[in-house]
Chain A
Amino acid sequence: MKTQVRVLSCSIILGFIVALLRFFDLQLLKKDFFTAQAHKNVHKLLYLAAPRGVIFDAEDKIIASNRLTYCAVVRTQYSKKRAVVEDGLAEARKLLMQVGNVNIDDINVDVKSLAVSACNLSLAQVEKIHDLKLQGINVELERSFVREIKDISLAHVIGYLGQGNASPLRKATGNEKVGITGVEKCLNEFLSGIDGITRSVVNVRAEAVSYETVRRPKPGLNVKLTIDSEWQRFAFEAMKDYSGAVVVMDVNSGGVKVLLSTPVFDPNIFNANRRSEIAAVLKNPAKPLLNRAVNGVYPPGSVIKMFAALGLSTFGKTLDQAHCPGFDYVAGRRIHCHNRSGHGNVDLVNAIAKSCDVYFYKLSKLASYDEIFSGYHQFGFGTRSGIDCFNESAGILLPRERIRHSIEFEKAVISIGQGAIATTPLQVAVALAALVNGGKILQPRIVDSIYASNWITDLQFSEPVVVRNVNLDQHVLNLVKKGMFDTVNSPFGTAFGSKSDQVTFAGKTGTAQVVELRKRGEFKSKRFDHHAWFVGYWPVNEPRYVIVVIVEHGGSGGKAAAPVAREIIEKIHRATS
């Protein structure tokens, strides 16, 4: 039996030696690797929120800032049973609501990370919640910043924040915010700071017992916009009761001074993640989130007439005079002027001031569809303006091959801004600026500069960017300008009712059909009323600004949009002189 005992004991000893060698390998040769692994297991990284960059308007007024708030996270124990975890979380949520007097909307429950978190807490609330620690409840507190926008007329310009791709901890506190729309989105990489990191050692209950700062939080960069918040406010006051948009642009730099879309919404409810109010905004049938200034696509109606005349003049197609009996025959069909009793003999000046349709029907007969198309296209219609922010729409300008019905008929319709053309208010502003600045199609800009953290200007965008130059026929241009002046300032002009005795401005009204006239009888609802346009510029002699106003379903441009434009122009004039 001795042999067997020797074999058996040797096998056992061999097993023990293998085990000891393994321990030697793990504990002495690979110690560093496993120590690092162990470190990862017990050391938890906490993030210190960095404030987002402040946004300034053109006059260096703060239009978006940060409010310091606190977040509290209560964690529950892990359990294999989901129901147990959910019960624990429900208990924690009740506690936060009772002790901290936290609004139920502000509480986030995340089953996966075993955490209930509440943000937007005041210091007083935080102190009360902190006392829960004395009762042995695992509470983590974290600073966080909530974006604050005081003037909601800037809602679409600044935009709002939402949840980004957050790490689990950040998710639990709902802190990592990224810009979802507006400047917050397009300048997110500059505006968002770099969160600081604190490494903490956790004890058996996963509570932090000591901290060590790994990286200090770095605030985001500050940004200056071309928007003038006071002017924006004027526009908002004038447009409050309407749904529509206002764009005011500097004709020399392309800087956008006003970019308003109504109805507005309160971006603060998104920034603070107030869920029930967010749901109400999303459900609102008036679509307040739509930025009508850059994403609203409307038939331009009569405001296109200047560009029809100027565009065709580049092909040598002009019309000195036309007779308007109130209608015209195009491709065998009789189509009306908006004035059914007719304008009599009209030249280009009158055709614009009185907005005679028949003049343009006749003008369009002189040209091919492609010439009309190119005329519009060179003013930027049908293509994105290239504004440095916003996900703008390109509008519509259909090429010849996509016209399915009579080309002759479409030529007449498109020359008065209906049919195969639709534009955003911003596109109209860019085209109009080219009309008064000598043919320069500018890239509109909303960002003036981005500051480095040391307040030395880092990036400045003051140089105008000229996309292309349009060759304007000086004679036609003068007539067009005269027509736009008469529109507002002559008794026969369509916007004479909005003539201002404080500031002289020129402009053009537009009334865009939502549905074809002959179908209108079927739609009595306000939803099918015409969109009212007014586009203008001032000062008349040396134009500096263009204004574009659209009032959705406002009726005629002269009655609905021109008074809005006058109110805005007058207020801006008073504020600047």
Chain B
Amino acid sequence: MQLVNKLFLSAFTLNIIGLALIYSATVDPYSDQAVSNFVSRQTVFSMVGAITFMVLATRSFTLTAWKSFLIGGLIVSLFGVILANFSEPIKGSSRWIEVGFLRVQPSEFLKVFTIGSLAFLISAAWEPGLKLAMIAVISLSCFLVVVIQPDLGTASMFLIYGWVAGFLITKPRIFILVTCIFVFVGAPLVWSFVLKPYQKNRVIALIQGEDPMGSNWQSTQSMIAVGSGGLFGKGFLEGTQTRMELIPERHTDFIFAVLAEEFGFVGSAIVVFLTLYVILKLMFTEGQKPVVYVFSILAGVKLGVEAGINLLMVGGLFPVVGVAYPFLSYGGSSLISNYLLLGIFAGFLNSSTKTSNPG
């Protein structure tokens, strides 16, 4: 089976598992509706996402055309984020813009287009210093427009992409050394000037442990759900914690808690390995054009960081930040943008195999 097909099928499987978990998390046995609005909406998002993937995967654009598409997408989504900053806040944050009856979160798309643009930037035949400067400009400006929404979780992703991009084009040891120095100097500054009190409380609560009704409440409830799942779980639709609305955001950021409670350690491990399979397949696509290779590394890092942070958060080892689990969590923007990510990669493969034109 071709790499693209393997990737798509794995992602699609995660998507279907996600739908089942969203159903379990949001079903209301007393309602006349067979499925909740969340499930029907996520189904539509899945179809839109899958079609997006297929359309992109079957195109054979030149790399120049891809470059224009990605940089154009970067600019459009950047404007989208700025537009969102002026929207009415929902749950205290201005992350969304209303497009007709749809609510879009442009920062999710911005991630994909940033990765695409960075891939072209890294593989361009520029001075390394200039490249580093450009990487810094792009990732920092993306970070800034998103962090003021406020959405620290998503904003930090751009710093990670920038860091990975820098890492790829420099000498690894020197870069890591410089990073360590930056972290030791920067962390106290971030703590004092960037983090909001509620964010600090989450971190403190995490370090101190038990705090059932306080800042750590979500973490504690999530750990109860996960821990009570045991080896094989309580069974589909049998989860008491996640279904009793004890966990807020159980269908989005904490969807993995539903999985862990209902399908236990075995179910969790299967999904974790499936995710890891997608990530590693992406990261080890050697023998491609440099731009495609860099893009796939960045795409793997994106999915890996999101899934990893989400897992640690559900397990109570990481403060509660709004990071969705790729393909599993409810949310159209996140789901479609991840399909977009895979679609761009598949499209890249087409162009690179069909043109001998060096990028």
Query: Which A residues contact B (CB, under 8 angstroms)?
Result: 1, 3-5, 7-9, 12-13, 15-16, 18-20, 22-24, 26-28, 30-31, 33-35, 37-38, 41-42, 136, 202-205
Complex formed: what's the CA distance from A205 to B28 in Å? 9
- Partner pick for B279 among A12, A34, A35, CB 8 A cutoff: A12
**In the complex, which residues of chain B have a beta carbon less than 8 angstroms from the beta carbon of A136?**
30
User: CA–CA, A24 to B229, complex, Å?
Assistant: 11
- Interchain CB contact under 8 A, A12 and B231: no
How far, in angstroms, from A203 to B245 measured CA to CA in the complex? 11
**Interface contact A9-B272, CB-CB below 8 Å:** no
Q: Is B138 an interface residue (CB 8 A)?
A: no
Bound form: Cα–Cα A19–B308 in Å: 7
Which of B240, B265, B284, B301 makes the CB contact (< 8 A) with A23?
A: B265
A35 touches B293 (CB 8 A): no
Given contacts A35-B227, A38-B241, 12 further A-B contacts (CB under 8 A): A3-B172, A4-B172, A7-B167, A8-B297, A16-B272, A23-B311, A27-B229, A27-B230, A34-B223, A34-B224, A34-B227, A35-B230
A22 to B230, CA, bound (A): 12
Contacts of A15 in B (CB 8 A): 304, 308-309, 311-312
From B269, which residue of chain A is reached at the shortest CB distance? A20
Judge whether A20 and B172 touch: CB under 8 Å. Answer: no
Among B164, B226, B268, contact of A8 (Cβ-Cβ < 8 Å): B164
Q: Which 10 A-B pairs have the closest CB atoms?
A: A34-B227, A19-B311, A12-B304, A15-B308, A38-B228, A22-B315, A26-B227, A27-B265, A37-B224, A34-B228
The answer to whether B315 touches A23 (Cβ under 8 A) is yes
Report how far A203 CA is from B283 CA in the complex, Å: 45
Residue of A nearest to B298 (CB): A8
Tally of A-B residue pairs with Cβ under 8 A? 131
Set of chain A residues within 8 Å of B30, measured between Cβ atoms = 136, 204-205
Query: Does B312 contact A33, Cβ atoms closer than 8 Å?
Result: no
By a CB distance below 8 angstroms, the chain B residues around A34 are 223-224, 226-228
Is the CB–CB distance between B168 and A23 below 8 Å?
no
Nearest neighbor of B305 in chain A, beta-carbon distance: A12
A26 and B300 form a contact (CB under 8 A): no
Most chain B CB inside 10 Å of its own CB: which residue of A8, A18, A41 = A8
Q: A22-B315, A27-B260 are in contact. Are A9 and B231 (CB under 8 A)?
A: no
Instruction: List B residues 303-321 near A (Cβ within 8 Å).
Output: 304-305, 307-309, 311-312, 315-317
- Chain B residue contacts of A27, Cβ below 8 A: 226-227, 229-231, 260, 264-265, 268
Known: A1-B168, A34-B227. A12 touches B308 (CB 8 A): yes
CA gap between A3 and B316 in the complex, in Å = 31
Q: In whole angstroms, what is the CA distance A33 to B264 when docked?
A: 15
Given contacts A34-B223, A37-B228, contact A8 B243 (CB under 8 A): no
Q: Which residue of B lies closest to A11 (CB)?
A: B304
Q: Is the CB of A41 within 8 A of B246?
A: yes
**B188 beta carbon closer than 8 Å to chain A:** no
| CA of A9 to CA of B280, assembled, Å | 7
Contact B227 A33, beta carbon cutoff 8 Å: yes
B142: chain A residues within 8 A (beta carbon): none
CA distance A9 to B297 in the complex (A): 9
Q: Does residue B90 face the partner (Cβ distance < 8 Å to A)?
A: no
Q: For residue B227, which residues in chain A have a CB less than 8 angstroms away from its CB? A: 26-27, 30-31, 33-35, 37-38
The residue on A at minimum CB distance from B222 is A26
A9 touches B29 (CB 8 A): no
By beta carbon, the residue of chain A nearest B232 is: A27
Contact A16–B268 (Cβ < 8 Å): no
Residues facing A in B328-357 (CB within 8 A) are: none
Q: A9-B284, A38-B228, A41-B224 are in contact. Are A24 and B312 (CB under 8 A)?
A: no
How distant is B288 from chain A, measured CB to nearest CB, in Å? Answer: 12
Please report the C-alpha to C-alpha distance between residue A454 and residue B57 in the assembled complex, in whole angstroms: 85
Q: Is the CB of A31 within 8 A of B272?
A: no
Min distance, Cβ A33 to any Cβ of chain B, angstroms = 7
B230 touches A42 (CB 8 A): no
| Contact A204 to B297, CB < 8 A, known contacts A5-B284, A9-B280 | no
Chain A residues contacting B324 (CB-CB under 8 Å) are: none
Q: In the complex, how many angstroms separate the beta carbon of A517 from the nearest chain B beta carbon?
A: 69
Is B157's beta carbon under 8 Å from chain A? no
Is A19 touching B312 in the complex (CB atoms < 8 A)? yes
Q: Interface majority SS on A: helix, strand, loop or mixed?
A: helix
Q: Is B19 on the interface with A (CB-CB < 8 A)?
A: no
B130 within 8 A of A: no
In the complex, whether B244 has a CB less than 8 A from a CB of chain A is yes
**Docked pose: A31 CA to B275 CA in angstroms:** 25
CA separation between A552 and B284, bound complex, in Å? 102
A16, B308: Cβ atoms closer than 8 Å: yes
Chain A: minimal CB distance from B33 (Å):
14
CA distance A27 to B228 in the complex (A): 6
Q: How far is the CA of A189 from the CA of B356 in the complex (A)?
A: 94
Q: Considering only CB atoms, which chain A residue lies closest to B261 in the complex?
A: A38
Chain A residues within 8 Å of B312, by CB: 15, 18-19, 22
**Docked complex Cα distance between A229 and B45 (Å):** 80
- Contact flags (1/0) for B155-177 with A, using CB distance below 8 Å? 00000000010011000100000
Chain B, residue nearest A12 (CB): B304
Q: Least Cβ distance of A328 to chain B in Å?
A: 77
**Cβ-defined contact, B301 with A8, below 8 A:** yes
Q: Is B110 an interface residue (CB 8 A)?
A: no
Residues in A whose Cβ lies below 8 Å from that of B265:
23-24, 27-28
Shortest distance from the beta carbon of A184 to any chain B beta carbon, whole Å: 37
- Encode contact with A along B196-209: 1 for CB under 8 Å, 0 otherwise: 00000000000000
How far does the alpha carbon of A28 sit from the alpha carbon of B224 in the complex, in Å?
A: 13
In the complex, residue of chain A having the shortest beta-carbon distance to the beta carbon of B223: A26
A5 to B290, CA, bound (A): 13
Q: Distance in Å from the Cβ of B234 to the closest Cβ of chain A?
A: 9
The reply to whether A41 and B301 form a contact with Cβ atoms under 8 Å apart is no
Which residues of chain B (264-278) have a CB below 8 Å from chain A? 264-265, 268-269, 272, 275-276
Closest chain A residue, CB of each to CB of B225: A38
Report the Cα distance A203→B307, complex, angstroms: 31
Whether A18 contacts B168 in the complex (CB less than 8 A), given A8-B301, A23-B260, comes out as no
Q: Are B297 and A203 in contact (CB under 8 A)?
A: no
Contact B315 A26, beta carbon cutoff 8 Å = yes
Q: Nearest chain-A residue to B276 (Cβ)?
A: A16
Q: How far is the CA of A30 from the CA of B229 in the complex (A)?
A: 10
Shortest CB–CB separation between residue A323 and chain B, in angstroms? 85
When the two chains form the complex, which single residue of A1, A3, A38 contacts B240, counting CB atoms closer than 8 Å? A38
In contact, B311 and A31 (Cβ under 8 angstroms): no
- The residue that A16 contacts in the complex, of B28, B225, B240, B311, with Cβ under 8 A, is B311
Q: Name the CB-closest residue of A to B296.
A: A5
A56 to chain B, nearest CB (A): 48
Name the residue on B nearest A78 (C-beta).
B245
- Can you identify 20 A-B contacts, CB atoms within 8 angstroms? A1-B297, A3-B172, A4-B168, A7-B167, A9-B280, A9-B283, A12-B276, A12-B305, A15-B308, A18-B317, A23-B315, A27-B268, A31-B228, A34-B228, A38-B228, A41-B224, A42-B241, A136-B30, A204-B243, A205-B30
